[in-house]
Amino acid sequence: MTRALPSTWRWRRVQVCALVVAVALLAGCGSGTGPTQEAVRGYLDATYAADTARSDTWLSGAAVDVTAEQIADEVGPRDRFTEEQATFMRNRDYIVAVFPEPTGSRVELDRHERMHNRYPLIIGGYWGRSSRSYGPRGEGASSTRGGGGGFRGGGPGAGK
C-alpha cells in the first residue's frame, strides 16, 4: 500500500527539480562561449611561429584573411570584424587580432581590456571597454542607425 506524500514533500520535489533544471541550463550556456584563452594560446603555439620579440604574438607566412580564417575555424569567435587590413576576433574575455606583415601576418592574443587599450581607435568603434559590452557597430547594434549596442560613447549631448 502506498501512502500519499504530504503536499509539502511534493512542493519540495518540484523546487529541487526546478533547481536542477536551472543549473543545467546555466551550465549549458557557459559551455558555448568558446575555448579558453589558454586553449587558444596552445593552438597558436602549435600552429604558428612564436615572435621572440613580443609576448603573446605569433607569425604566419599566410595573408591576414587566410590566417584569420584558420584561427576562426579553430576558435569559433563570438564576434569578428575587419578594419584597416586587420581582423579582430572576440571570444569569452579575450581577443585574437591578425595584422599584415611584409612576410605574411602577425597574430596577437590578449585579454579584451588590454586589446581595447592597445587599439582603442579600432576596437572602440565595434566593442565597448568591457568584454561584456558592445560598441556602436557591434553585436546588437542597429545596422541602419549605427547606434546603441550598450555603448553610449562620450562627449556632450542631451539625453545621455
pLDDT one-digit tens code per residue, 44-80: 999 999 999 999 999 999 999 999 999 999 999 988 9
For residue 64, give its domain range.
37-112
Burial class (CB within 10 angstroms; exposed 0-12, middle 13-18, buried 19+) of 80 = middle
Nearest one of 70, 71, 97 to 85, comparing CA atoms:
97
Is 133 within a domain?
no
Is 94 within a domain?
yes
Average pLDDT over residues 83-92: 90
Is 82 within a domain?
yes
Question: How many Cα atoms occupy the beta-carbon half-sphere of 77 within 13 Å?
Answer: 20
Is 22 within a domain?
no
Q: What is the pLDDT of residues 97-136, one digit of tens each?
A: 999 999 999 999 999 899 989 998 888 777 766 655 554 4
pLDDT in the model for residue 124: 79
Collapsing DSSP to helix, strand or coil, 29 comes out as: helix
User: What percent of the residues of the chain are helix, what percent strand, and what percent coil, each to the nearest 5?
Assistant: 35, 20, 40
- End-to-end Cα spacing for the chain: 69
Q: What is the pLDDT of residues 131-150, one digit of tens each?
A: 555 544 544 433 333 333 44
Mean pLDDT estimate for the chain: 74
Is 159 within a domain?
no
Q: Which amino acid is at 63?
A: A
With a threshold of 0.85, does the pTM exceed it? Answer: no
What span, in angstroms and rounded, lies between the C-alpha atoms of 20 and 24?
A: 6
Indicate the Cα dihedral angle 41, 46, 49, 51, nearest 10°. 20
Is 99 within a domain?
yes
For every residue of 57-103, DSSP letters joined together read: EEEESS-HHHHHHHHHHHH--SEEEEETTEEEEEETTEEEEEEEETT
Is 98 within a domain?
yes
Q: How many domains does the chain have?
A: 1
Is 129 within a domain?
no
